[in-house]
Each structure stands twice: as structure tokens, then as C-alpha cells.
Amino acid sequence: MSERSLEITRAPFYQREALRFECTECGACCTAGGGYYVYVTKDEIEKISVFLGISSGWFKRRYLKWLPEEGWVLAIKEDETCLFLGEDRRCTIYAARPGQCSTYPYWPELVLHKRNWVRESRRCEGIGRGKIVSKKKIAALLEQQAQHES
């Protein structure tokens, strides 16, 4: 049996091994490239628009990009960083940030398979640092994302 097929039959990676994460506020997760996008829902568009004190129409024109068959995503700067990443490497809409941002790095594609978690740790210096994150918390964040996507 191949390693891949063994991985499929086992429990998800985050349930088999303890995961550590502590945000270092480096801003690497706010850097696009390699096909990374931050998808936003209608509710998130409204929430951020209210936070910024602008109409949702203006917000869409100024800060979003439409990807056919995928939906709205946050636009990025020429240097491939998020438009809302400040000079100090902090999020300027933190209180209203999209769910995709608030659940990072506990995305299914990262916590279900060890190789993806390890790969992401090369991009995010906070992965592997800090206290162990409970399996219950990770499961709750995964459920939150599943509801968000439906």
C-alpha cells in the first residue's frame, strides 16, 4: 500500500499529531502569489464596507477582484501583498477581516495532510511555534469554514 493510500485511510493529520501555532505577525500569510487568494462572501463584503465606512459597491470596485466561476477575492498590490496589509505588516481591517484570514492556518488543505502543513511551515514562521492547539479548536475552525463555503 502506498504512503498516500495509507494517509487516506488514517485519521486526518491534525487528529494524529499535535499542531503548534503562534502568530509572529510577520505578514507572510498576507502575501499572495502562487495562486493564493482571499475569497470573500456577500456578508464579509458588507461587514468590511461598514468597517471602512464606504458602500459595498465602492468597496467592490476599489478593493475586490471578480474571478469567473470562483467569486470575489481581495485584490492585491503589485508586490503581491494584501491591499489591507499596512506598512507595519499589520492588517488594517483586522476587526472585520474575512473568515479565511481569521481561520489561518487551520484550513482543510493544510491540517488534513502532514505534507501540506510542513510545506506551509516554510512560508509561515509561526507554524510549529507556541502552545499545542487543541484538536477541538481545529475541528471547530474547520466546521466554521465548511459553513462559510456552503
- pLDDT, tens digit, 9 for 90 and up, residues 24-47: 988 888 987 667 789 999 999 999
The proportion of the chain whose per-residue pLDDT surpasses 70, expressed as a percent, equals 91
In the prediction, which pLDDT does 150 show?
63
In the block, cell 456577500 appears at 42
* Of 108, 117, 96, 99, nearest in space to 142 by CA: 108
pTM score of the predicted model? 0.82
Q: Mapping DSSP to helix (H, G, I), strand (E, B) and coil, where does residue 3 land?
A: helix
CB 108 within 8 A of CB 70: no
CB 48 within 8 A of CB 60: no
User: From the CB of residue 76, how many other CB atoms can be counted at a distance below 10 Å?
Assistant: 19
Name all contacts of 11-15 with Cβ < 8 Å and 24+ positions apart. 12/111, 12/112, 12/113, 13/111, 13/112, 13/113, 13/114, 13/117, 14/106, 14/111, 14/112, 14/117, 14/135, 14/138, 15/135
Separation of CA 81 from chain center: 14
Question: Does 136 have pLDDT greater than 90?
Answer: yes
Tens digits of residue pLDDT in 78-104 = 888 899 999 998 999 999 999 999 999
In the block, cell 494584501 appears at 82
Mean pLDDT of the chain: 89
pLDDT band at 3 (very low <50, low <70, confident <90, very high): low
Question: Does 8 have pLDDT greater than 70?
Answer: no
Greater model confidence, 3 or 100: 100
Separation of CA 34 from chain center: 14
